[in-house]
Structure 1
Amino acid sequence: MASQLFNLIEKIINTGTLRVKDATGTITTFGDGTGDPIAVRFTDSEAEKLIARDPALALGEMYMQGRFQMEEGNIYDFLSLVRRNTLAIVFSPLMAARLFWRTGLAQLQTRLPINRNRKNVSHHYDLTPPLFSLFLDEDWQYSCAYFDPPDISLDEAQLAKKRHIAAKLRLNEGQRLLEIGSGWGGLSMYIAEMAGVDCTGITLSHEQLAISADRAAKRGLSDKVRFELQDYRTMKAKPFDRIVSVGMFEHVGIGRYQNFFDKCFELLDDDGVMVLHSIGRDVAAHGFNNPFIEKYIFPGGYIPSLAEVLPAVEKSGLLVRDIEILQMHYAYTLRAWRERFVARKEEAIKLYDEQFFRMWEFYLAGSEMAFEWDKMFIFQMQLSKSQFATPNNRRYMFEAEDKLKAAEANRAPLEPVAFS
């Protein structure tokens, strides 16, 4: 094994049991011998060197290429073992320099006046739709579910998420709602059916637009729910009573937060309410997208801290009426996605190939690990222009959820998402 990687692993793995077979077939055991053993294998010495130089990027690449393989346990088990042992790791000078460079580059790119949003969205969301059918719930909700109570199924948790958000919006029949980043249309359709609200969803994904419009038409909702290929920044419309955005803010970028909230202020009625649902991070965490995720999965992504978001909210004139932190809910969501995806491995390989399967397995496992160990979370922020737009207590949210849950019994079952 390359001595540089050997020394790195020896510094990291203090607890647990990790057996590493290098390219020559030599097996070395690290850790204190506790827990279920995890065994990995390198197929070539160059893979060892690449990971030693840049583990944040190369580990995922080598796994994706089949040059770093699991022999006992799975990739999530390995990543969790490493992360549990590196909560206080001291970076080498090279790693520290690379960390500084990536942080600076991310901060620069997210502030450049170059619109790559449509290209970045297409890179991920315009993948073949059958891929998403392998692991998402029946409504194709591609954002954090709400596991309350914690032992419910993924489908139940995604329904609970929609219900939870709808309750915070204080919906009434006849209102007009804008959904920024409408995905495959499930949230807008839920709101239209459950509350009689007129919904406009905007997206930058051609695939999502086609599927969501088809779904609304098949449910007879075309008069109440419409979807548009539209960038929020150039949208012109009469102010909406309600605005909701779920899982889109991570693509905005810190340099554009002020523009985002200024535009939301413009598009929100004076008595309106907005709910923003986004991934968040601890302010001390790295201010750049994971390099593997950036290169292969979500180019241009940026996970905000609340300290970065709130100044832009306040400067826009919007008032923060409520903030809720959802801890671990995304870890549970990602675990369900990963388990479903792995269970349908052969189908995923037929859609693309085995390298693509491993790439997505690594993405799902790494993301799950991040929400379990890296202080990442979901925040739901309720905003308004007026301090009187929402009550001065939270009882109304719980009451609204109870009413929605009771009404769901009369909602027609969802049909399977159709795609060509």
Structure 2
Amino acid sequence: MNIADAFEQLIQGPLPLRFTAYDGSASGPEDAPFGFELKNERGLSYLMTAPGDLGLGRAYVTGDLVVTGVQPGDPYDGLKALQKGLKLRRPSPAELVKILSGLGISHLKPPTPPKEETLPRWRRVIEGVRHSRIRDKEAIHHHYDVSNAFYEYILGPSMTYTCAVFPTEDATLEQAQYYKYDLVAKKLDLKPGMRLLDVGCGWGGMVRHAAEHYGVKALGVTLSREQATWAQEKIKKMGLDHLAEVRHSDYREVTESGFDAVSSIGLTEHIGVRNYKSYFTFLRDRLRPQGRLLNHCITRPHNKHQETGAFIDRYVFPDGELTGSGRIITEAQNVGLEVVHEENFRLHYARTLAGWCKNLQDNWDACVDEVGEGTARVWGLYMAGSRLAFERNEIQLHHVLAVKTDDLGHDDYPWRPTFPMDASYPEA
């Protein structure tokens, strides 16, 4: 049995793409705009020993499996065609034995995973229990301490690695990131002289925006040393160091309190669902009475338990966990916060990822020189796949705005929210 014959036996219906393999076999329409090209035996072993997204990811990252018809920086079109037209079937035990025998039992010996892959969940116990401070620090280091220069190529001048909010159909990515920060500032009702705490601050985009445009004294914290170093240098260069500070620190190490506002933009995904109670309690206790909290995070379209896929967990966000906005609202309410507004920016994140993929594709050679082709491939695959997931409503992005009421229940919140109408962004 050749490889293409085995591949066809696992597919239901006609192939939507061209499949070719190193043994010379092929299947699928010759004029298909996209295809899979299996380059060598190691790639076959990856696919056979880890069926599903992990095996495909390993083969793709190493270059053993090539998606033809797309650029490695943005394989979105190929993935979309694959998801739309490729339907797998489950072979019978007899068929499976025949396929395995035909391809060679020797391919069931797992090859060494690519160097970009981190340990599986069950082996990370050497770094501490899940979401301990030590293990969280290592997880953040794996993803965010890749290279500041690499992130500059992908994210653009804003250095913002969270969902943008597009005010108009033709807004640029930079305008949308500015608008997002300004929308958060308006939701928090920031004014000159206020104090803002931004947890999981990344490269300090919210901290800088609040200080520069609202005269706010802003403190940001991040577990990534690379992010903190870059942010502090940028703050000093902008002449904002009298107002803004970014610390290399776990958010749980912040001792100050009495903040007028707290923003959490892209942190909740990393803390673990079972830790939501302590997370919201900690943030509540940092606020003054009538202070506001804005929680911005990726969510699922449901509130059921669902583990992150193997590829994302081992290559992108180790120990990351998602749940629905309902669970987030519930946990915030259960610690006494009053939730006053919520909205979903799902399609805005799909468009944000499209912009990041374009940046990666446009700067592909420089990115490969900076971090290596394997890491660059991981990013292209993960961002294009995530874009599809947002478009298909498999994941979402929610803002949850809450207030710490005073002892009499006063929240100082207006009768109707005004922030969507007066957030701003620079003209092109």
Instruction: State the match for 2:26 in structure 1.
Output: 27
For normalisation by structure 2, the TM-score amounts to 0.83
2:68 corresponding residue in structure 1: 71
The answer to whether the 8 Å contact 1:110/1:253 transfers is no
2:130 & 2:19 partners in 1: Cα distance?
43
Partner of 2:99: none
Aligned to 1:255: 274
**Which whole-Å CA distance do the structure 1 matches of 2:338 and 2:276 have between them?**
15
How many angstroms apart in 2 are the aligned matches of 1:93 and 1:56?
21
Q: % of aligned pairs identical?
A: 26
Q: The residue matched to 1:256 in structure 2 has which SS?
A: helix
- Contact (CA 8 Å) 1:22, 1:45: kept in 2 or not? no
The amino acid that maps onto 1:37 is P
- Of the structure 1 ranges 346-355 and 70-79, higher mean CA displacement relative to structure 2 is found in 70-79
Give a deviation string over 1:55-92, Cα, whole Å, max 9, x none: 21111110111111122235322221232347x97878
Which among 316, 332, 335 is matched to residue 351 of structure 2? 332
Residue 51 in structure 1 maps to residue 70 in structure 2: no
**Partner residue, 2:57:** 60
Quote the residue 1:6 is aligned against. 8
In structure 2, do the counterparts of structure 1 residues 322 and 111 end up closer, same or farther at CA, with 3 Å as the change threshold?
A: farther
What secondary structure is seen at the aligned counterpart in 2 of 1:140? coil
Q: Give the direction of change, closer, same or farther, for the CA distance of 1:153–1:364 in structure 2 (3 Å limit).
A: same
Gaps of 5+ in 2: 94-119
SS of the aligned residue for 1:223 comes to coil
Contact between 2:217 and 2:244, CA under 8 Å: does it hold in 1? yes
What are the ranges of 5 or more consecutive residues in structure 1 without an aligned counterpart? 95-102, 414-420
Matches within 5 A, 1:6-155: 6-8=8-10, 10-11=11-12, 17-29=16-28, 37-48=33-44, 50-51=46-47, 53-74=50-71, 75-85=75-85, 112=130, 114-115=132-133, 116-155=135-174
Q: CA RMSD in A?
A: 3.0
* Alpha-carbon contact 2:303-2:323 (below 8 Å) kept: no
- Cα distance in 1 between the residues matched to 2:372 and 2:222: 28
> Is 1:159 matched with 2:182?
no
- Cα separation, 1, equivalents of 2:195 and 2:78: 48
CA drift of 1:272 comes to: 0.4
Give the length in aligned residue pairs: 389
Task: Quote the offset at 1:361 in angstroms.
Answer: 1.5
* Aligned match of 1:397: 419
CA contact (8 A) 1:5 1:49 kept: no
**Is 1:174 equivalent to 2:193 in the alignment?**
yes
Amino acid at match of 2:80: S
One-letter code aligned to 2:9: N
After TM superposition, the structure 1 stretch with the greater mean CA deviation from structure 2, 204-213 or 68-77, is 68-77
Question: Take 1:112 and 1:73, find their aligned partners in 2: how far apart are those partners?
Answer: 37
For residue 97 of structure 1, what is the aligned residue in structure 2?
A: none
